[in-house]
Amino acid sequence: MAEPARAKPKPTPETQHFWDGTKAGELRLQRCDACANVYFPPRPFCPSCASRKVSVFKASGKGKLYSYVINHRPAAPGFTPPYAIAVVELDEGPRMMSNIIDCPQTPEALELDMPLEVAFEALDDKITLPLFRPAKG
């Protein structure tokens, strides 16, 4: 029997551009053409001013560690505890949940506000997840 896999996202019409982006190695966000608000998760209107004129753009992929837990139990399918579940604050403003890779999953190594950069991990030929690792330099 195969190992249980981690939960896999299923895109909707409103989020497809995001998942197309991660597959292409880009972290895509949306900006309101009317009020310049940058927001996440994806939707075809601005949650700040309600304008339907919004644009998709490639984000820098840079951010910092806003908060996290190190989950011990119960572990989600596809994860080996202990593992950190993090919230990353992107340089563009929005925050997103992710995991921190290339870093010990310990309170000592995971310092709040540490700089992070996006890394992409393909789950299959359709879905690639945006993960983060400590920024180099």
- Do residues 134 and 106 lie in contact, with contact meaning Cβ atoms separated by under 8 Å? no
Shortest separation between residue 70's beta carbon and another protein, angstroms: 4
Nearer to another protein, 107 or 137 (CB): 107
Q: In angstroms, what is the minimal distance from the CB of 93 to another protein? A: 12
| The two structure tokens encoding residue 57 | 């753009």
**Contact between 114 and another protein (CB under 8 A)?**
no
Which range touches another protein (CB under 8 A), out of 26-34, 50-58, 79-87?
Answer: 79-87
The residue within the footprint of another protein, chosen from 1, 2, 55, 72 (CB under 8 A), is: 72
Q: Is 100 helix (H, G, I), strand (E, B) or coil?
A: strand
| DSSP track, 19-73 | HHHHHTT--EEEEETTT--EESS--SS-TTT--S-EEEEE---EEEEEEEEEE-S
Smallest gap from Cβ 99 to another protein, in A, equals 5
Among residues 125 and 137, whose Cβ is nearest to another protein? 125
Among 37, 79, 133, 134, binds another protein (CB under 8 A): 79
In the numeric block, which tokens belong to residue 80?
Answer: 């080996």
**Contact criterion met (CB below 8 Å) for 16 and 30:** no
Binding residues (CB under 8 A) for another protein: these are: 6-12, 15, 19, 40-41, 66-79, 82-83, 85-87, 95-99, 107, 112, 123, 129
